[in-house]
Structure 1
Amino acid sequence: MHNTSKDILVSVVVPCRNEAKYIEICINSIISNKLSDQIEVLIADGESNDGSKEIITELAKTNSNIRLINNPQRLTPFGLNIGIENARGKYIMIASSHSAFQQDYIPTLLKELQELDADGIGGIMETKILNSNKTSEAIRIVLTHPFGVGNSYFRIGIKQPLKVDTVPFGLYKKSFFDDVGLYNTKLIRNHDIELSKRALALGKKIFLTPSTSCTYYARETFSKLAKNNFKNGFWNFKTIYITKKLSSISLRHFVPFLFIMSLIIPIILGLIWSKFFILLSCLSLLLYTIFILFTALKIDKNKTSFFKIICAFAVLHFSYGSGSVIGMFSFINLFKK
């Protein structure tokens, strides 16, 4: 039976491009939610060529509430906006092709959205991997550790509902997007937190709840982790330039940048003036190494190794930080134009 717009309570928007490895897991978890007959799944596909569209089409044959929408621009913020514009539900939830959800995820968010009088709400994000090995397990660990992700509460967990600056896969009243607007399509990265910051500036309330959780499937190799986080770091300064607001992102996004600069600036000063400055760079690296060693010693290494955890932390921090440094120079060049 094909549900009418009156039957749809929640529209789940999933941007997708070449995610054949993950998209079926994501969709099945959504339609397995307890309100499945009142949920539609809108997959905004960015012209995938890896079989993703075929997988989605097959799933849609058995469930009319799965809808495949073309995203000719291919990029995530465009896909999100296309999904939101086509949504028929009273509420809109944002998902990722790499995400999966507990059966009570959507019902719990709906309930607590009302109880907390929130405009948006999301659950704790559990980081997992599909293929377990020492490298992927180390990556999973550092992406849930405060030394790896700072005060990202949705990653490290909370004990009671908390007002936050952003949630990963949140549920929102449809009117939220009428008031705040859609995702900024100029932002290939950071479009999610920029939207949240825009909402907070308008007095909207976004909550994180520990009552339910979702799953995010992380990259499983150091090279993929580095590539993804380099891009994330690169877009920090560009986000500020595009939005003209320093508040578009959070302070925690600049910590790896400051660390990398603590290595680079003393070396430059040492080459220009005194070699003494190079010692400051060495000191910064030494303190980082000591801290990372002690942190790794305290972590349960049952499925991975001490060496792999050290590598995962280093790859995460150096790739993100160096991406921010390169992004800074790009930012400076944009101002010169």
Structure 2
Amino acid sequence: MSAPQSDLRWVSVIAPCRNEAGHIAAFCDSALAQVLPPGWQMEVLVADGCSDDGTRELLVARSTADARLQWVDNPGRIVSTGLNACIARARGEVIVRLDIHTRFAPDYVARCIETLARTSADNVGGPWVAEGTGPMGRAVAAAFQCRWVVGGARSRDTRYDGAVDTVYLGCWPRAVFERIGGFDEALVRNQDDEHNLRLRLAGGRIWQSPQIHSLYHPRNSLRHLFAQQRQYGYWRPFVMRKHGQPGSARQLVPAAFVAALALFALCVPWTVLPLAALLALYAVYVGWASVSAAHGAGQWGLLARLPVVIAAYHLAYGLGTWRGLWDVLRDRAPSTQFARITR
């Protein structure tokens, strides 16, 4: 026999969104189809950031049809304010974050709950696995998954089971937010990395389990990828200013590469050798990374696109980091140019 409703434990699924009319129905279907462990019940809270494309109307209709789904107003319109608005309304002793552009296995929430119980960690999640659409989208996904492109980040390793410095999305005991607070609403991007860094500095543990499955849909054009990565890079110095350190050293490598390019370019009137040597070394690196990414994806047809995709990842992130650092050093408020989500 099933447990009485009053004896069931609550898990709250939260997700921010804005102008996602083309994706919100599939997301709601995926979230509401989660199969929970015995003794648990679920609520799904979606924070709408003042959508003007019909997303809110679709959410209202779905929440009317299914009491498990609630829409939450997010006048701040960014991810961090939306997440905090959901957490403030959530009833669950466990909070699970989902993403509108990600497909989740039916046991995603159940696996998160099980991993929390097994590890006693403060935040758990699965590997960040990308699934692209179209030739360019598949190339972006292949590069995204390659350790030679992302600095060996364990979050992209589909087999890794253990402690990590950050994890995709996240699942927390509610007590974590009561202890260290919610997401930093001054950050348009990197609010998850900052929260994980804050959690680690407070003595918390973050755990990645390969049993937690999802598929993320990355950008499917070079222009959108460049804009996204430049924005990610821009907000990195603001996280560093807050804590006096980056989330990890690998996050500084693209900025160092851009700085070296600029420095050696200044030498061109006297000698082209330093710049030529750096470009030659980077070309070899990109060539190796492209082969590795194509091999890992099992799609050799992507090989022609991968070098420019990989360069876009690195250059955009590095340029964005320097722009953010420039604003931080001048003690300026974050630029509105980087305050709009680029999806």
TM above 0.5, yes or no, is yes
Where does residue 225 of structure 2 map in the other structure? 225
Matches of 1:4 and 1:17, distance apart in 2:
33
Distance change (3 Å), C-alpha of 1:41 and 1:304 = farther
Q: 1:66 aligns with which of 69, 73, 82?
A: 69
Matches of 1:158 and 1:134, distance apart in 2:
26
Matches of 2:270 and 2:99, distance apart in 1:
49
Where does residue 55 of structure 1 map in the other structure? 58
> For residue 275 of structure 1, what is the amino acid of its counterpart?
W
> For residue 43 of structure 1, what is the amino acid of its counterpart?
V
**Aligned structure 1 segments of 4 or more residues deviating by more than 6 angstroms:** 3-6
Asked if structure 2 preserves the Cα contact closer than 8 Å seen for 1:12 and 1:39, the reply is yes
Matches of 2:279 and 2:257, distance apart in 1:
9
Matches of 1:256 and 1:224, distance apart in 2:
18
Structure 1 residues 59-79: Cα deviation after superposition (integer angstroms, max 9, x where no partner): 223211110011111111111
Asked if structure 2 preserves the Cα contact closer than 8 Å seen for 1:183 and 1:195, the reply is yes
Q: Show structure 1 runs of 5+ residues with no match.
A: none
How far does residue 204 in structure 1 lie from its aligned partner after superposition?
1.2
SS of the residue corresponding to residue 134 of structure 1 reads: helix
Where does residue 26 of structure 1 map in the other structure? 27
Matches of 1:4 and 1:321, distance apart in 2:
52
Q: 2:89 aligns with which of 70, 86, 91?
A: 86
Where does residue 306 of structure 1 map in the other structure? 303
Tell whether 2:175 aligns with 1:175: yes
Q: CA RMSD in A?
A: 2.2
Distance change (3 Å), C-alpha of 1:266 and 1:4 = farther
Where does residue 261 of structure 1 map in the other structure? 259
Asked if structure 1 preserves the Cα contact closer than 8 Å seen for 2:149 and 2:289, the reply is no
Matches of 1:335 and 1:128, distance apart in 2:
37
Tell whether 2:133 aligns with 1:119: no
SS of the residue corresponding to residue 149 of structure 1 reads: coil
How far does residue 320 in structure 1 lie from its aligned partner after superposition?
1.0
Tell whether 2:84 aligns with 1:77: no
How far does residue 206 in structure 1 lie from its aligned partner after superposition?
1.2
Structure 1 residues 112-150: Cα deviation after superposition (integer angstroms, max 9, x where no partner): 211111122111222113xx3211110110011112222
How far does residue 4 in structure 1 lie from its aligned partner after superposition?
8.1
Where does residue 323 of structure 1 map in the other structure? 320
Matches of 2:70 and 2:64, distance apart in 1:
10
How far does residue 8 in structure 1 lie from its aligned partner after superposition?
5.5
Distance change (3 Å), C-alpha of 1:58 and 1:304 = farther
Where does residue 192 of structure 2 map in the other structure? 192
Matches of 2:166 and 2:52, distance apart in 1:
32
Where does residue 338 of structure 2 map in the other structure? none
Matches of 1:303 and 1:57, distance apart in 2:
45
The residue correspondences of 1:110-189 to structure 2 (distance < 5 A) are: 110-129=113-132, 132-159=133-160, 161-189=161-189
Tell whether 2:209 aligns with 1:214: no
How far does residue 223 in structure 1 lie from its aligned partner after superposition?
0.6
> For residue 296 of structure 1, what is the amino acid of its counterpart?
S
Matches of 1:335 and 1:35, distance apart in 2:
47
Using the aligned pairs only, state the percent identity: 26
TM-score by structure 1 length?
0.90
SS of the residue corresponding to residue 103 of structure 1 reads: coil
How far does residue 95 in structure 1 lie from its aligned partner after superposition?
1.8
Distance change (3 Å), C-alpha of 1:79 and 1:324 = same
How far does residue 49 in structure 1 lie from its aligned partner after superposition?
1.0
> For residue 33 of structure 2, what is the amino acid of its counterpart?
S
The count of corresponding residues between Structure 1 and Structure 2 is: 325
Matches of 1:279 and 1:38, distance apart in 2:
65
> For residue 137 of structure 1, what is the amino acid of its counterpart?
R
Distance change (3 Å), C-alpha of 1:8 and 1:22 = farther
How far does residue 263 in structure 1 lie from its aligned partner after superposition?
0.4
Structure 1 residues 140-176: Cα deviation after superposition (integer angstroms, max 9, x where no partner): 10011112222222223234x2111111121110111
How far does residue 331 in structure 1 lie from its aligned partner after superposition?
2.0
Asked if structure 2 preserves the Cα contact closer than 8 Å seen for 1:10 and 1:39, the reply is yes
Structure 1 residues 239-275: Cα deviation after superposition (integer angstroms, max 9, x where no partner): 222x14214x22111111111111001223x26xx72
Matches of 1:335 and 1:49, distance apart in 2:
31
> For residue 119 of structure 1, what is the amino acid of its counterpart?
D
SS of the residue corresponding to residue 124 of structure 1 reads: coil
Distance change (3 Å), C-alpha of 1:166 and 1:302 = closer
Asked if structure 2 preserves the Cα contact closer than 8 Å seen for 1:47 and 1:74, the reply is yes
Matches of 2:150 and 2:125, distance apart in 1:
18
Matches of 1:209 and 1:296, distance apart in 2:
27
Where does residue 336 of structure 2 map in the other structure? none
Asked if structure 2 preserves the Cα contact closer than 8 Å seen for 1:29 and 1:100, the reply is yes
> For residue 321 of structure 1, what is the amino acid of its counterpart?
G
> For residue 291 of structure 1, what is the amino acid of its counterpart?
Y
Q: Show structure 2 runs of 5+ residues with no match.
A: 334-343
> For residue 57 of structure 1, what is the amino acid of its counterpart?
V
Say which is worse superposed, 255-264 or 92-101, in terms of deviation. 92-101
Asked if structure 2 preserves the Cα contact closer than 8 Å seen for 1:41 and 1:67, the reply is yes
Distance change (3 Å), C-alpha of 1:312 and 1:81 = same
Matches of 1:202 and 1:88, distance apart in 2:
24
SS of the residue corresponding to residue 228 of structure 2 reads: helix
